[in-house]
């Protein structure tokens, strides 16, 4: 049984949300990132109870554009008075294409890292919304019990390539920024919010082992409370598998799947956690740092709270009734 709802509110809310990123949306993107209509009437209801088709959104977007509720140009929708975003979006799409090529050239070498199970692109590149100074945000899945060993191998490979974002780099264009690691037995993200759900909806797999994508999406079904169409992405700009790289990774795992590998993991865990604890950024407010045996997250200065506050304020100005969205529990 499907619930009745006002389709205009979630459509406008979705455009408002992405306005914080200066990012106009196409019809397909409004449909893909559509905020769960339940956020405006039934906040604890999954999106599956709402029957919304792309044609419904297209019809309502046309009505909204004619009424001046949203702006429209050549297939892109944005808030009124933000026509400049159209030209910016065209340039960002061109830049994103170039940056994707650079990223994939670098990422192919990561296949040589032992214990690597998946690499997802996140952040601005995943959303096709980069600027020239953007780095490459990377979400990594590592074999359980080898989190810190796997991280070191990624550090070594990216350093050899000259492609690792340094600890003190304020700007690192086209460098790999490994800011979130989880183990393959801990794929569910426990810090939840509209911002995190939209970030998940944007993530693109680049390197994956069998079943990892399905398991990851299934583990994060909670995102359906925020995103109407949260599901496995059909966009897969994958790294072409390299037999040599994969063989090197397997040799490394074979050499470390023993007592010495266990000892090395404990040693690296102790060393890395000590460095994290001694880093002043770990204790800054407005972000999140996690370090344990199942997850490493490094977002000391998150944009999340700014986005959520902007979203809540603009919903209120637009006269959209909704419970206030919260951040995911930042410090």
pLDDT digits 0-9 by tens, 275-322: 999 999 999 999 999 999 999 999 998 999 999 999 999 999 999 988
Nearest by Cα to 57 from 13, 113, 120: 13
pLDDT per residue as tens digits for the range 52-69: 889 999 999 999 999 999
The rounded mean pLDDT for the chain is 93
Q: Is the pLDDT of residue 235 over 80?
A: no
d(CA 306, CA 78): 19
CB neighbour list of residue 292: distance below 8 Å, 6 or more residues apart: none
pLDDT tier at 6, thresholds 50, 70, 90: confident
Closest CA to 119 of 288, 255, 236: 236
DSSP 323: P
Kindly tell me the burial class for residue 321, based on how many C-beta atoms sit within 10 Å of its own C-beta (0-12, 13-18, 19 or more): exposed
Under the banding of pLDDT at 50, 70 and 90, the label for residue 4 is very low
CATH class assigned to 8-89+306-317: mainly alpha
For the chain, domain boundaries = 8-89+306-317, 97-302
**How far is C-alpha 138 from the geometric centre of its chain's CA atoms?**
9
Structure confidence by residue, pLDDT tens digits, 38-55? 888 765 655 555 688 899
Predicted confidence at residue 3, as pLDDT, reads 44
Q: Sign of dihedral through CA atoms 92, 61, 55, 2?
A: positive
């Amino acid at each position: 049984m499907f619930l009745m709802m006002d389709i205009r509110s979630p459509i406008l809310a979705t455009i408002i949300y992405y306005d914080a990123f200066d990012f106009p949306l196409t019809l397909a993107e409004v449909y893909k990132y559509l905020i769960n209509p339940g956020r405006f009437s039934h906040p604890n209801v999954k999106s599956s109870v709402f029957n919304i088709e792309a044609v419904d959104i297209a019809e309502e977007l046309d009505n909204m554009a004619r009424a001046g509720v949203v702006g429209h140009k050549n297939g892109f929708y944005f808030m009124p008075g933000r026509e400049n975003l159209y030209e910016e979006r065209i340039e960002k799409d061109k830049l994103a294409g170039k940056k994707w090529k650079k990223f994939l050239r670098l990422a192919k070498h990561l296949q040589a890292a032992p214990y690597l199970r998946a690499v997802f692109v996140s952040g601005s590149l995943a959303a096709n919304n980069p600027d020239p100074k953007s780095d490459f945000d990377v979400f990594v899945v590592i074999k359980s019990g080898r989190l810190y060993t796997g991280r070191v191998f990624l550090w070594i490979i990216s350093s050899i390539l000259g492609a690792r974002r340094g600890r003190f780099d304020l700007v690192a264009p086209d460098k790999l920024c490994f800011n979130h690691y989880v183990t393959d037995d801990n794929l569910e993200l426990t810090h939840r919010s509209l911002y995190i759900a939209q970030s998940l909806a944007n993530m693109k797999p680049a390197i994956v082992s069998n079943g990892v994508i399905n398991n990851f999406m299934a583990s994060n079904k909670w995102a359906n409370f925020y995103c109407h169409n949260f599901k496995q992405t059909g966009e897969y700009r994958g790294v072409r598998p390299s037999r040599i790289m994969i063989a090197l990774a397997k040799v490394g795992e074979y050499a470390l799947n023993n007592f010495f590998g266990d000892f090395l993991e404990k040693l690296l865990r102790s060393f890395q956690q000590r460095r994290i604890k001694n880093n002043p950024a770990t204790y800054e407010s407005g972000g999140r740092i996690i370090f344990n045996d199942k997850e490493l997250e490094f977002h000391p200065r998150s944009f999340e709270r700014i986005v959520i506050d902007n979203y809540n304020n603009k919903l209120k100005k637009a006269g959209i009734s909704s419970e206030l969205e919260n951040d995911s529990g930042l410090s």
